[in-house]
Chains A and B, each alone.
Chain A
Amino acid sequence: QVQLQESGPGLVKPSQTLSLTCTVSGGSISSGSYYWSWIRQPAGKGLEWIGRIYSSGSTNYNPSLKSRVTISVHTSKKQFSLKLTSVTAADTAVYYCARGTTGIENFDYWGQGTLVTVSS
């Protein structure tokens, strides 16, 4: 059974960088059949796709966030990470990591989510 777990600071100051890590267990992070995504959800609002990374390191990002986002993968640690720079209160949200299936483009496994609050 594949499991994903987000970790990182729950509080980030405005203008600083938000950094989160997702640890994958119960399955391979290196399979070309899957990719690894970050998705966020502000309180009371809908889901927003942030971006994805394949085990090869290839990435795609949401155009609205592309200038501030970097997703990286660390296959030996079975982890992938999110960095979001120059954060504002609008970046306050629950952040989820999820596994996507190449060519089908669905998310079959999700982490439980972690709340990140941007505040001074």
Chain B
Amino acid sequence: QSALTQPPSVSGSPGQSVTISCTGTSSDVGVYNRVSWYQQPPGTAPKLMIYEVSNRPSGVPDRFSGSKSGNTASLTISGLHTEDEADYYCSSYTSSSTLVFGTGTKVTVL
């Protein structure tokens, strides 16, 4: 299975909004709403930020939001904070009953 495609990096100034795309296929992102997003600061384990495309776990700030259109899911951070600087990964369930992660995106707060 191939990794989902994400841009290597995105950046923005504090207060700005950034959007990270996650492109899959009609065998994963395009057919299931089981898309999640994870935040991983350097040297730490990933943290769940979004599940089922657009749901936020308790404790995740509402500036994080998710959406999906066709084979592409997106994570938007509205109003960047310095502490949002991290790597972000999407994941999706697949028609083979497996899970696949995205290639990862580094978010830089300028």
Instruction: Kindly list 10 other residue pairs between chains A and B, CB separation below 8 angstroms, not including A60-B98, A103-B34.
Output: A46-B89, A47-B38, A47-B101, A49-B101, A60-B97, A61-B98, A64-B1, A104-B52, A105-B92, A106-B36
Interface residues of B in 36-92 (CB under 8 A from A): 36, 38, 45-48, 51-52, 57, 89, 91-92
What residues of chain A lie closer than 8 Å to B101, measured between beta carbons? 39, 46-49
| Chain A 58-69: CB-based contact to B (< 8 A → 1; otherwise 0) | 001111100000
Contacts A63-B1, A105-B93, A108-B48; is A46 near B99 (CB within 8 Å)? Answer: no
Cα of A61 to Cα of B98 in the assembled complex, Å: 7
Closest chain-B Cβ to A97's Cβ sits at a distance in Å of 10
The CA-CA distance from A39 to B102 in the complex, in Å, is: 13
A105 CA / B37 CA spacing, docked (Å): 11
Stretch at the interface among A15-23, A26-34, A80-88, A109-117: A109-117
Contacts of A49 in B (CB 8 A): 91, 98-101
Asked if B103 is an interface residue, CB under 8 A from chain A, the answer is yes
- Report the bound CA distance from A52 to B1 in whole Å: 16
Asked if A107 contacts B48 (CB within 8 A), the reply is yes
Please state if B104 and A47 are interface contacts (CB–CB under 8 Å).
yes
Asked if A36 is an interface residue, CB under 8 A from chain B, the answer is no
Q: Cβ of A104 and Cβ of B34 under 8 Å apart?
A: yes
Q: How far is the CB of A111 from chain B (nearest CB, A)?
A: 7
Let me know if A106 and B51 touch, CB within 8 A: yes
Report yes or no: B98 in contact with A62, Cβ–Cβ below 8 A: yes
Query: Once the chains are docked, how many angstroms separate the CA of A30 from the CA of B105?
Result: 35
